[in-house]
Chain A
Amino acid sequence: MSNRPFAITLKPGTSLSNLTGTWRNERPVYVDRLPPCNNACPAGENIQGWLFHAESGDYQQAWRVLVENNPLPAVMGRVCYHPCETACNRGLLDESVGINSVERFLGDEAIKRGWKFDRPALVSGKRVLVVGAGPSGLSAAYHLARMGHQVEIQEAGPFAGGMMRFGIPKYRLPREVLDAEVQRILDMGVVLKLNTKVENIEQSMQGFDAAFLAVGAHIAKRAYIPAGDAAHIVDAVSVLRSMEGEDKPMLGRRVVVYGGGNTAIDVARTAKRLGAQEAIIVYRRSREKMPAHDFEVEEALQEGVLIKWLSTIKHADEGSLTVEKMLLDEKGVPQATGEFETMEADSLVLALGQDVDLSLLNGVSGLEIKDGTVQVAVNMMTGHAGIFAGGDMVPSERTVTVAVGHGKKAARHIDAWLKGTAHQPEAKHEIASFDKLNPWYYSDADKTVRPMLDTIRRQTTFDEVQGGLDENTALFEARRCLSCGNCFECDNCYGVCPDNAVIKLGPGKGFEFNYDYCKGCGICMTECPCGAIKMVPEET
């Protein structure tokens, strides 16, 4: 018997013996939600994933995560129309994250530092023919090579790049950048045969186990315009293509471009740089209806390109054009007004879109051609077993990014097909929409604006118009990312739990719930800035 007073003869027990987890009717769980940027990227980039490494200044790791999906970041960072930024949640807070500018920074950094792709670890023994060295073909070749397949690209032209070289002008995509990213793919062991036009795919495919076609759309569409013998009419893609050759196109002092897409803008800006005093775009609808992107229209106007809205060209003669004014009806369709005027023009450039040259497919069985494009199944295979296709030649939006995405997707299916299996893409996670976030926690920070070349140099040279970020501004921009739907180790859940029911596992390892004590209050879920915690009903 102790002679201590009764009340302190018993040692105080610990409250740890009281398992408050039994109170719970909902439990928190950690989830990875799909960031809207990733969801919007046509090349399927894991944007939040690579920004995560850029945020800590580990640019090489960021680049490595990026190129798992897209081998052309320096190109993308210049020409992609960045639907990711349109979807970015930060846009609802202040302005979207400058994903595209950080991507370009990483791409340029990789070129500067000479980062290389790893050589494939395994060799499958299979051979795949890729037709066309545009973005889609290059992307497919890269992914197939990573999977261990032997890849040969046959390209009709004298250089690789497709429309990235023969369409997009230098002032938007310097050729050294393109060359460096193409070379890096070839360094993996991909064989590139230039000046090798495939005339008949079944013949060229002999000795290969599968083929990926990505011949693009290069035949300029024509509109019937009555013209005098001496009228100087050319098409936009030929003009842009000849910019890559020795003899620059002769367009004269007054150049009229007919069309309203990005190609029309590019060709007008090119004409301006070639010395045209006036470059005028004639388009039959209004600015709002113009398919060209607004920022491109804006940049063209800044450089002195003129645009004549609501006009169609009725007749072309030597030195002049007859133009009819149009009016939009209530459906937004342009209607003729019967009012005509004459414009001076040394040349008329038609930028009315392109068709696909399908001649290499003549005689191939099982194909389905619709509206001039080759139909493919969800696995990117045409109706002919073993022949896959992607990019501009299949029905889709025609952009470099979509083309790259097709290349990746096709590569995965070709790989499975060669193994006799089918590629099952992982189910998409729930989207980390803005309402899943707690934006309170993010610092206030405005978007970093990329520097632009001064207008005089933009009007007279082919120097790159848009500058890049430097290391510090890129770091700042990366750190504007909200990490939507994916834990970025802010320790909030660990800190805010009134019941100490979150276990911190340490850097890079994340967290675990201790369900012995978690009462299911949901504070951790509400205070997680990025929506990486979800409450689920407890089974009763």
Chain B
Amino acid sequence: MGFQPVKFYQTGTFTVGNRLLTPDERSLQSDKGRSNSINSGHRACQGCGEALGARYAIDAAVAGSHGQLIAANATGCLEVFSTPYPESSWQLPWIHSLFGNAAAVATGIAAAMKVKGKTSVRVVAQGGDGGTTDIGFGCLSGMFERNDDVLYICYDNQGYMNTGVQRSSATPPAARTATTMTVGKEPGNVFGQGKNVPEIAMAHGIPYVATATVADLRDLEYKVRKAMTVHGARYIHIFVPCPLGWGTASNDTIRMARLAKESGTFPVFEAEYGEVTGVLKIRHQIPVEDYLRPQKRFAHLFGEHPHPETIARLQLLADRNIRKYGLLNGHAAAADEANEHLRELRISEGGN
């Protein structure tokens, strides 16, 4: 991975902070004076992954732009829960227009800044998976193709959550939503072709594309900060579990993201100019079933009339990710790192 994991300090870089590290080796989120771009009092559900992911990402983008950041926001939970008129949680200039045009609005802001000669001002666009992979897709592709100087962040909670959990093109196969009911021979969402927007972004050959989850803060911060060092079109796709839409316990939000990554269901990688340059390895691999089971949207796969063949198909999809991105061997690597650290300590002691 691109960021330097700390080899062995009790929790290494797995935790948000770590008293044994110097402050500059800790995450931005561990800082007492972090910017809290999205403030308390927002109306997101208990345990909302999107609210958390947005603070993680925008705080890092604010730091990466030295506080000179403007955000354009698509309609969706993030916009609705943060800005019921006349309140706002946002601690930066923030513009809302429509459900489907955040990329275009951001492009316009970037152009305006250029015209005004405000070269230090940076622009971020953000939206849900519906606003990104469905209705905003045309605007987004245009932004990529023109290589506009915008960082676009998609918060993927795998459905239209704001309007009551309808299916989007990011909803996984077999999942129950309000529009993919658990009826018929193959209940839940269909096994379609899928629509992998990070890979579509890569196909545009833009400077930087990355995926991230709320379970890997250090990786997420590294990616946003890296994106801020680059000009041109950049895309980060963040996996943000939704307790309401998925039927998971509110305390399990981060755990669900971790299980998605550890099962291979959600591959975490980064790519430059269309080529994958790094993957976050699986540390302790788990079967996809362990990820599905706690979610009520997959409850029909278990219980009295289980669908083991559907679970097996979902496992195949995860296996394909693991193969394609080379996600295994994380555990061995971590153990090696600990041993290496010990060896280094011994060497520094005087070669015994």
Cα(A522)–Cα(B243), bound, Å: 12
Check A500–B254 contact: CB distance below 8 A: no
Check B87–A12 contact: CB distance below 8 A: yes
Question: Chain B: residues with CB nearer than 8 A to chain A?
Answer: 7-12, 14-20, 26-27, 29-30, 32, 36, 39-44, 46-49, 51-52, 55, 82-83, 86-89, 217, 243, 249-255, 258, 331, 334-335, 337-339, 341-342, 345-346, 348-349, 352
Contact with B along A19-56 (1 / 0, CB 8 A): 11001000000000000000000000000000000011
Residues of A within 8 A of B89 (CB): 14-15
Check A522–B20 contact: CB distance below 8 A: no
Check B87–A13 contact: CB distance below 8 A: yes
A-B contact count (CB 8 A): 184
Residues of B within 8 A of A496 (CB): 16, 52, 254
Check A446–B253 contact: CB distance below 8 A: no
Taking A491-B16, A527-B255 as known contacts, 13 extra A-B pairs with beta carbons closer than 8 A to each other, sorted by chain A number, are A14-B39, A442-B10, A443-B8, A443-B337, A446-B338, A470-B352, A475-B345, A491-B27, A494-B17, A495-B16, A495-B217, A497-B52, A519-B46
Give residues of chain A (461-514) contacting chain B, Cβ–Cβ below 8 Å. Answer: 470-473, 475-476, 479-481, 483, 488-492, 494-501, 504, 506-507, 514
Query: Quick check: is A132 within 8 A (CB to CB) of the other chain?
Result: no
Which of B48, B82, B250, B334 is in CB contact (< 8 Å) with A15? B82
Query: Quick check: is A388 within 8 A (CB to CB) of the other chain?
Result: no
Check B19–A489 contact: CB distance below 8 A: yes
Residues of A within 8 A of B86 (CB): 10-13
Question: Chain A: residues with CB nearer than 8 A to chain B?
Answer: 10-20, 23, 55-56, 440-446, 448, 470-473, 475-476, 479-481, 483, 488-492, 494-501, 504, 506-507, 514, 516-517, 519-523, 525-527, 529, 535
Residues of A within 8 A of B10 (CB): 55, 442-443, 479-481, 483, 488
Cα(A19)–Cα(B346), bound, Å: 53
Which of A442, A475, A526 is in CB contact (< 8 Å) with B11? A442
- Given the contacts A470-B349, A489-B19, A18 and B87 also touching, CB distance less than 8 Å: yes
- Given the contacts A15-B40, A494-B29, A444 and B251 also touching, CB distance less than 8 Å: no
Residues of B within 8 A of A475 (CB): 345
Check A525–B251 contact: CB distance below 8 A: yes
Nearest B residue to A491, CB-CB: B17
Check A479–B20 contact: CB distance below 8 A: yes
Check A479–B8 contact: CB distance below 8 A: yes
Cα(A13)–Cα(B89), bound, Å: 9
- Given the contacts A12-B88, A475-B345, A517 and B20 also touching, CB distance less than 8 Å: no
Cα(A111)–Cα(B7), bound, Å: 32
Check A13–B88 contact: CB distance below 8 A: yes
- Given the contacts A442-B11, A522-B251, A514 and B16 also touching, CB distance less than 8 Å: no
